[in-house]
Amino acid sequence: MKILDKYLVKSFLVPFFATFFIILFVLVMQALWLAFDDIAGKGISIYFILKFLYYTCLIVSPQALPIAVLLSSIMVMGNLAERYEFAAAKSASISLMRLIRPLIILTFSLSALNFILYNNIFPYAVLKQKNLLINIRKKKPALALIPGSFNSDIPDYQIKFDEKYGENEDLLKNVMIYDLTSRKGNQKVITAENGKIISEDGSKYMTMVLYNGKYYENHVNKKTKYGVVDKMPASSAIFDEYTINIDISSLTEGDLEIESLKRSYNMLTLKQLKDTLPNMKIGFDEFMRIRAKNIYENVEGAKLGEIDTIQRPDLAPEVLDNFNLQQKIHVLSTAISKAGRSVNNLKANKPALKNKRKFLNLYDLEYHNRIALSLACLILFFIGAPLGSIIRKGGFGLPMILAISIYVIYFFSNTFSRNLAEESSVTVQLGSWISAIIMAPIGFLLMRRASKGMGIFNIDVFLQPITKLFKRFSSKKAS
């Protein structure tokens, strides 16, 4: 039996390593393509590009491992069944579970390795890669400017524009700039219909040329008191062309190794997440308590439970019947006004509440998701091994198609449930484990059918009633 175990392990490891490195290469190239605009043309040395690829390899390795296990298990068992080695083993009274026992032990080891990758290597790699990417983007801040919102990465300036276009994406449309160099607040505002960014490699300055715009500045001294600002002089002008030279030396001369982002949810280990979550939940509960208290005080909720113990026969049972028409109008208007303020308060706080809940869910999801995804190797193996023995096909053809289809279902269900959990549509626990809940019964069903030598679907179950029905009609016609 040891010879058979060694043979199975060897047959499994050869396609496993080949598949793992192929999938790893594909995932790394995909990540590099997505980050290409941030890296290309920034004057970054090959050393930092290789470091970026190295961190990317560490990040995607836990994703490549389950796919490699799934494909290898289908190929190994498919080859055994195709060459009738599986039938020979069954004739020697070797069950499917005994046959794949060394592979189960190996898959348990791979699941443990996947857990280590997710818990220790993955957070470290994300921390290093994200900070490296942030620092690379700062090398040419012009390319990092995002349309539609104020960009504050460039020191002493707030820049907003509607669209960035052109071959080098250096042309701007509908530009608004807050010049904060005077350290007196938003006293200097420049708007323009169009603009152009001029930035040379290695230069300490970025030039912005604005066309067809307006210039406005409040001349305020640092000692000017609040309330006197409106009386201070101001200047404005209309220009056809206006040039601004912005000092970006603090960005371009920065060290690419600086780590400015450290506490993101995907940069923490399970222990760090476990220590962080209670404090975050306490903060969220406190936020909810303060908002609920404000609403309660706004509608004077304390008075709603008061009971008047003094019996006054001259008062009508209905409260409004004790007031004249003008007083009724006043009471109802006040009630409607307070209710409206409460509703508006709820609407105003809804985005903040939603963002805080989603932020908390991200950390909670990451904690449960790491554990659930670590078991992906084991779950997908118990799907791939019996599936390979049933289809009786080895090689990279049909097994590759089946492996990709199964993993797409697994990945889609995990991503879909994760998105639902982020929006609090389902619980965090269900969102993390729903893919495992879906795939585990499939693996159990396939193992059971493969152990009994049955196919995925027994077509005879569907064909026999139809065949009997035709035979019955044919016998009646013959009689």
pLDDT tens digit string along 59-105?
Answer: 999 989 998 998 888 888 887 877 777 777 777 777 778 888 888 89
Residues 6+ apart with CB under 8 A from 120: 269
Backbone φ/ψ region at 197: left (φ over 0), alpha (ψ -120 to 50), beta = beta
pLDDT at 201: 60
pLDDT at 322: 73
pLDDT at 373: 87
State which of 82-91, 107-116, 310-319 shows the largest mean pLDDT: 107-116
Q: What is the mean pLDDT of residues 415-435?
A: 86
| Full-model pTM | 0.67
**In 281-310, which positions are buried (b, 16+ CB within 10 angstroms) versus exposed (e)?**
eeeeeeeeeeeeeeeeeeeeeeeeeeeeee
Q: Quick check: 129 pLDDT over 70?
A: yes
Q: What is the mean pLDDT of residues 124-137?
A: 81
DSSP state of 135: H
State which of 19-33, 67-81, 151-165, 307-321 shows the largest mean pLDDT: 19-33
Backbone angles phi, psi at 165, to 5 degrees: -145, -175
pLDDT at 25: 92
Q: What is the mean pLDDT of residues 147-162?
A: 79
pLDDT at 476: 60
Q: Quick check: 472 pLDDT over 60?
A: yes
Q: Which residue has the higher pLDDT, 187 or 419?
A: 419
Average the pLDDT over each of 41-50, 116-125, 207-216 and give the range with the smallest value: 41-50
Instruction: At 2, list the tokens.
Output: 């040891």
- Hey, what amino acid is at 167? E
Smallest CA-to-CA distance from 79 within 2, 8, 1 is with: 8
Contact call for residues 204 and 234 (beta carbons, < 8 A): no
pLDDT class for 462, splitting at 50, 70, 90? Answer: very low
Percentage of residues of the chain with pLDDT beyond 70? 78
pLDDT at 403: 80
pLDDT digits (tens, 9 = 90+) for 372-412: 888 888 998 888 888 888 877 766 677 777 788 888 888 88
pLDDT at 132: 80
DSSP-assigned letters across all residues of 377-397: HHHHHHHHHHHHHHHT--SSS
Per-residue CA distances from 411 to 381, 435, 438 (Å): 15, 8, 11
| Distance of alpha carbon 218 from alpha carbon 222, whole angstroms | 12
Q: Quick check: 48 pLDDT over 70?
A: yes
Q: Quick check: 57 pLDDT over 90?
A: yes
pLDDT digits (tens, 9 = 90+) for 346-366: 787 778 788 888 888 888 888
Q: Quick check: 305 pLDDT over 80?
A: no
Q: Which residue has the higher pLDDT, 308 or 115?
A: 115
Q: Quick check: 260 pLDDT over 60?
A: no
Q: Quick check: 451 pLDDT over 70?
A: yes
Average pLDDT taken over every residue of the chain: 78
pLDDT at 414: 86
| Bridge partners for 157 per DSSP | 179
The CA angle 104-436-444, to the nearest 5 degrees, is 55
pLDDT at 203: 64
Q: Which residue has the higher pLDDT, 113 or 45?
A: 113
